[in-house]
Amino acid sequence: MLRHTALFLLRDMSTDAEKLIAKKGLAYLSYGCPSVRAVDFGADLFGGSERLRQVKPWDRTPLWKARTEGPPSNYDLALNLDFEDQDGLDAYNNDDVHHEVGRYNASVAYGEFTARVDWWYDGPPRIERGKVRHTSLFLWRDEVGDGERDDVKSAFTALNDAVDRVDSLIVGDNVGTLITDYDMILDVVFDDFDDAKAFFEHQAYGEALRLAADATKFEWTARITHNVGLG
């Protein structure tokens, strides 16, 4: 399957009603865009960008000084769309329904911060309603070579065996062509929220994340944890 993953950071002034409309638009993509094979979307379970509203900008570490500290918050809303092939994704990108939903999203989210990757994985669609998905998108540091990148990918992939509460874990490379695309995705699915929390607290995950922090523009990492298909 070819998956398009997009994470959205909502504007501080977006109302609950506007956020609900945005979610409804994402859900409608499975009906309005014929080439879409499966849809998964949802809001962050850890509060998303709420921290950005709770902590004043002058009390936060600025991004240009936060490479080892990581992103200031999670993203707010995730979208995963599965397609059979590149033709299906191209048809979606040219679909008027997609354009209409995209225009509305641009009114409630910071478009310049939207994080995207297009990536392949072995099908069928890995979207099981009611489970919990964690998504992290990474940008490689310019000076990092293939060897270091492979080490990071291997460390994340090894968590499949190191952490027994993982239902599915995939590391994917971006194949999209937009200059704004991220480089790599970590996609992890759990049975429930408690399993997700146990994963984040596991020593092996911490070690893999530290390796990633050294090799990536860690402050720009886009991450979210959401209930699969439940909005």
CATH number for position 186: 3.30.70.100
Mean of per-residue pLDDT scores for the chain: 93
Please report the pLDDT score of residue 59 as a whole number.
78
pLDDT tens digits along 107-145: 999 999 999 999 999 978 888 889 999 999 999 999 999
- Answer yes or no: are the C-beta atoms of 10 and 49 closer than 8 Å: yes
pTM of the predicted protein model: 0.94
Query: Got the DSSP string for 155-184?
Result: HHHTHHHH-TT-SEEEEEE-----TT--SE
- Confidence label for 229 from pLDDT (cuts 50, 70 and 90): confident
Cα angle 165-186-121, degrees, rounded to a multiple of 5: 95
What mean pLDDT is predicted for residues 145-157?
97
pLDDT interval class at 30 (50, 70, 90): confident
Q: Comparing C-alpha atoms, which of 219, 230, 224, 177 is closest to residue 77?
A: 224
At 81 the pLDDT is 96
Buried b (16+ CB within 10 A) or exposed e, 200-220: eebeebeebbebbbebbbbbb
The string of pLDDT tens digits covering residues 55-86 is: 777 777 777 777 777 888 999 999 999 999 99
Domain containing 164 equals 2-227
Specify the range with the lowest mean pLDDT, choosing from 104-108, 181-185, 186-190, 210-214: 104-108
Domain count, the chain: 1
Residue 151 burial (CB < 10 Å; 0-12/13-18/19+)?
A: middle
Using an 8 Å Cβ cutoff, are 88 and 2 in contact?
A: yes
The whole-number pLDDT of residue 222 equals 98
